[in-house]
Every structure is written in structure tokens, then in C-alpha cells.
Amino acid sequence: MSASQPGWSSRHRTPPPPQAESEVITLRATSGVTLAVEVREPQRARGTAILLHSTMASRRIWNAPNDGGFAAVLAEHGVRTLALDFRGHGESGVPASRGGRWNFDDLAREDLPALCRAARERWPRDRLTLVGHSLGGQVAIAAAATGLADADAVAVLATTVWLPGEEPNDFLRARKSAVVRTMHAITRARGYFPARTLRVGSDDEAAPYVEGWTRNWDRDQWMSDDLGVDYHAAMARLRVPILSVASVGDRFLCTPQAAFRFIRRASGANVRFELIRRSDEDGRSPPDHMAIITTRSAVSSWHDTANFCLG
């Protein structure tokens, strides 16, 4: 791609893998926040996918391990990937530890729509697929369901929303409640959630984001931060094809049952649900929540996702 295209500016290049050039470019959201996007360009691109990372992470999850990760597999199939760092994560905006502040709505209403518009302008004839892991899947669904992200398809990996009413298992509900309360308490004490210090993630989270998560748990509703939009209700308006992937090895953060309860709310869409039952590496233990993306134990699912992106 050319860094001279409107809205894009070149940051630096990373060593390209075979047959796929990788370049980090910058994009500005409407509020002026600078967003970093890693573009991986196959020799013959047949479609485009926007990759959206999980909470307390960055776009780098799509490159593990040793550049033979998810983005590289999509490139093998001819899918161009645009891996976004949400504001405050990776190389985008100001991190929470240095005063950066953002909430969920900023990601769904500004960051993703800005990248969608730029992608549509640059590659207007491409099938555009949103691919999100965990938080990234939530953002993809929320933005598409409210008409802010113009996409042809959505793939969500290990994606659900934590709400008391969505968790019928008493033990898991109690554990989730404890996590929410602990994160909220730590965030109030520190002014942000120090994921790096606690070694529970590579990127810290801002106080408004954690406060919104806590408020949704208390209200038992998946609402926008301004309380003007019920995202769960909006899901019924989705009409694009959806792929949902879950693993039986994800026993807490997003169980298969939770992933299914979440995506079935897209009642008007053509939804395909895929369950990972075993590891592609040893044929035994299925991957957990992060290993779905950060190891090759789910590589066959990556190939399936690539084919989904191509329609």
C-alpha cells in the first residue's frame, strides 16, 4: 500500500515475512487521537480484514509466534490485514499510566469507524471483515450493530460480555463478580488498572473503561457509556454474516456456552458457531482464552477464519 493515501502516514517498516509486506502506519480519529495500524499486504490480496485485539493487550497478539501467527496465516490466503492498536494500547495515543483516558464507546464510536472509513476509501471493492478477539469482538459487534462500522462480515473469537444475568453457573458468576470488584478497587486506588505491573497483560487500562465495565455488571446490561444505547438490543439489527469461535479450553473468561449465549442475540444475521475441541499442536488440550490467538494450537481455526473473510 502507499503511505501517501489520504488519512494515512508512514511510521516505520518491520521485516516482512515471505510473500507479505508489513508496514505500520498512523491514522487519526475524529477526536485527534493518533492510532497505529499494522498493515500486512499479501502479494495478491483478495480481501481485507481489520484485526481488533483483546483487553490489556495490543495488536502484537496477531503476530505471535515468531511471525507465523494469525495475521500471517490470513496473508497466506490472500487476506490483507489491518491490525489496530486501540487508543492507549501499543503505539496508539497516550497509555493509561501516563494519564491516558478512554472508555468502550471511544473504541466503538471513533477508533474502529475511523479505520473502516480509511479501508473503504483505500480498497473500495474489497470484502471487509471485522475480526475481533474478546474485547475486540465486542467492539466489532457494537460498532457494526449501531451502523458505525461499515463491514461486510464479522468474526468474533472468544467473545462474550460479562453480566450476572448471562452467567447461569453460580461458581463462575461469583468468580467474575470478584474479578470485577477487584479490578475496580485497584483502578480507584491507582487511577488506572496496572495490568503490566500485575503481569496480567501487556497494556494497562484506563479508569473510565474499567468504570464502564463495572457499571454494566452492576446494571446487568451491556450499555454504552453514555447509557444511550443498549448494545445487546442493537445486535438484533445485524444482517451481515457472522462467525463466532470458542474453545472448550476457555473455562472462565469466555466459555463456549457464554460465547453462544452472546452471539445468538444476533438473531437476524447468518451466524456460524465454531467450537475448538482439541489442540492442533498435540491433539489434546484445547487452547485457553489467549492461546486461541497467541499460539498455533488453533491454527486450523485461523485457516477457517481466513476462508470466512474471503466469503
Task: Quick: pLDDT tens for 95-115.
Answer: 999 999 999 999 999 999 999
Are the C-beta atoms of 29 and 86 separated by less than 8 Å?
A: no
Flag whether pLDDT at 19 surpasses 80.
no
Looking at the chain, the whole-number percentage of residues with pLDDT higher than 90 is 89
Flag whether pLDDT at 10 surpasses 50.
no
Flag whether pLDDT at 242 surpasses 90.
yes
Q: How many domains does the chain have?
A: 1
Grid cell at residue 144: 457494526
Q: State the Cα–Cα distance between residues 34 and 111, nearest whole angstrom.
A: 9
97: in domain = yes
Q: Band the pLDDT of 67: cuts 50, 70, 90.
A: low
**pLDDT tens figures, 263-287:** 999 999 999 999 999 999 888 899 9
Are the C-beta atoms of 3 and 23 separated by less than 8 Å?
A: yes
2: in domain = no
Flag whether pLDDT at 261 surpasses 50.
yes
Q: What is the pTM of this model?
A: 0.93
Flag whether pLDDT at 1 surpasses 50.
no
140: in domain = yes
Average pLDDT in the 202-231 region? 97
**What pLDDT is stored for residue 7 in this prediction?**
47
Give the CATH number for residue 226: 3.40.50.1820
Instruction: Region of 66 please: left (phi>0), alpha (psi -120 to 50) or beta.
Output: left
Grid cell at residue 242: 457472522
Mean pLDDT of the chain: 93
Flag whether pLDDT at 293 surpasses 70.
yes
Domain of 298, in residue numbers:
9-309
Q: 254 — phi, psi (to 5°)?
A: -155, 85
3: in domain = no
- How many CA atoms, within 13 angstroms, populate the side-chain half-sphere of residue 239? 3
**What pLDDT is stored for residue 90 in this prediction?**
97
Buried b (16+ CB within 10 A) or exposed e, 27-63: bebeeebbbbbbbbbbeebebbbbbbbbbbbbbbbbb
Long-range contacts of 117-126 (CB under 8 A, 24+ apart): 117/7, 117/150, 118/5, 118/7, 118/8, 118/27, 119/48, 119/50, 119/82, 120/150, 121/5, 121/6, 121/7, 122/1, 122/5, 122/8, 123/45, 123/48, 123/80, 126/45, 126/47, 126/48, 126/80
Q: Which residues lie below 8 Å from residue 265, measured CB to CB, with a gap of 6+?
A: 232, 235, 236
**pLDDT tens figures, 29-61:** 999 999 999 999 998 999 999 999 999 999 999
